[in-house]
Amino acid sequence: MSASDAFEWFTSTQLPANSQAVGEFIAGQRQYLYTIRSEDERQRFVEWVMGELRRMVKSERVSGQARKRG
C-alpha cells in the first residue's frame, strides 16, 4: 500500500468522530504529504502522522472524560 493510500485509509476509517482540531491537522498534513517526493520519506511521514493522530485522539478522550466528571 502506498503511503498516500495508507494515510487516506487511516484518516477515513481508523479515527473516531474527528474534532475540529484533528480535522485541521489532517488537512494540513495531507497537503504536506503530497509535496514529499520520495516514497520512503512519505512512509516515514505517514507513520509519524498516525502516531500524532493517535496521541491527539487519546488526549481529547481524556479531556472529554474529565469535563463530563467535572
Count CB atoms within 10 A of the CB of residue 27: 10
The predicted model scores a pTM of 0.82
Average pLDDT over residues 63-68: 61
Q: Is the pLDDT of residue 36 over 90?
A: yes
Could you report the per-residue pLDDT of 16-33, keeping only the tens digit for each? 777 888 999 999 999 999
Q: How far apart are CA 18 and CA 35, in angstroms?
A: 24
What is the predicted pLDDT for the residue at 8?
96
